[in-house]
């Protein structure tokens, strides 16, 4: 069953190239507290890294709204010139562009009462089309970078911890196939 074994190896290699780092995430704003008064959204965003393709999910009732606004309107809690407004939750908003996105509740005094959240969105992972000279800054958890196959890595220090694991698996299955 050599052919079957080869297919398994191929599958694992493909998975190791195309997998986990590219998955878009859905973030429920405020987690179980949802989109409401009395939630510290600065704290909520502080341990998260948002990427293009991720989605914000706002859970709220009829007493709240969501408006995406400019930076100055965010500071001034003004929903009058909103980029987009939503009045019926739950609302899922895809983060399709890089940069900082600003969201406030449009109900009077709710924004100044804390119903405002800003998220900094960076480029999606695993594109491989960049110049390769950019380094992630300020990230606390390591993000695995899949090898592109066309460029040789400048240093082996950038290796993801998943790579040896995958190679070990491939070696293990290869041994099974040969024996
Ligand atoms: Cu509100």
The low-confidence residues of the chain, meaning pLDDT below 50, are 1, 8-19, 126-143, 145, 148-160, 165, 169, 171-173, 176
What pTM did the predictor assign? 0.61
| 101, β-bridge pairs | 119
Q: How far is the CA of 138 from the centre of ligand 1 (A)?
A: 31
Dist. CA 17–CA 75, nearest whole Å: 42
Q: How far is the CA of 37 from the centre of ligand 1 (A)?
A: 6
The pair of structure tokens assigned to 82 is: 């909103």
pLDDT of residue 159: 46
Q: How far is the CA of 110 from the centre of ligand 1 (A)?
A: 5
Taking only the tens place, the pLDDT of each residue in 40-69 is: 999 999 999 999 999 999 999 999 999 999
Burial class (CB in 10 A: 0-12, 13-18, 19+), 173: middle
pLDDT of residue 62: 95
Q: How far is the CA of 61 from the centre of ligand 1 (A)?
A: 9
Q: How far is the CA of 59 from the centre of ligand 1 (A)?
A: 11
């Amino acid at each position: 069953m050599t052919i079957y074994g080869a297919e398994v190896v191929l599958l694992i290699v493909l998975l190791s190239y195309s997998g986990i780092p590219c998955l878009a995430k859905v973030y429920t704003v405020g987690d179980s507290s949802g989109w409401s008064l009395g939630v510290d959204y600065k704290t909520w965003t502080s341990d998260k890294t948002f990427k293009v393709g991720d989605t914000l999910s706002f859970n709220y009732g009829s007493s709240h709204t969501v408006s995406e606004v400019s930076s100055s309107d965010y500071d001034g809690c003004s929903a009058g010139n909103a980029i987009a407004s939503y009045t019926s939750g739950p609302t899922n908003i895809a983060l399709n562009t890089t940069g900082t996105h600003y969201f406030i509740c449009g109900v009077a005094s709710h924004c100044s009462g804390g119903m405002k959240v800003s998220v900094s969105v960076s480029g999606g992972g695993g594109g491989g089309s960049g110049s390769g000279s950019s380094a992630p800054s300020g990230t606390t958890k390591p993000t695995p970078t899949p090898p592109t196959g066309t460029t040789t890595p400048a240093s082996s220090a950038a290796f993801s911890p998943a790579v040896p694991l995958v190679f070990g698996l491939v070696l293990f299955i290869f041994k099974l196939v040969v024996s």
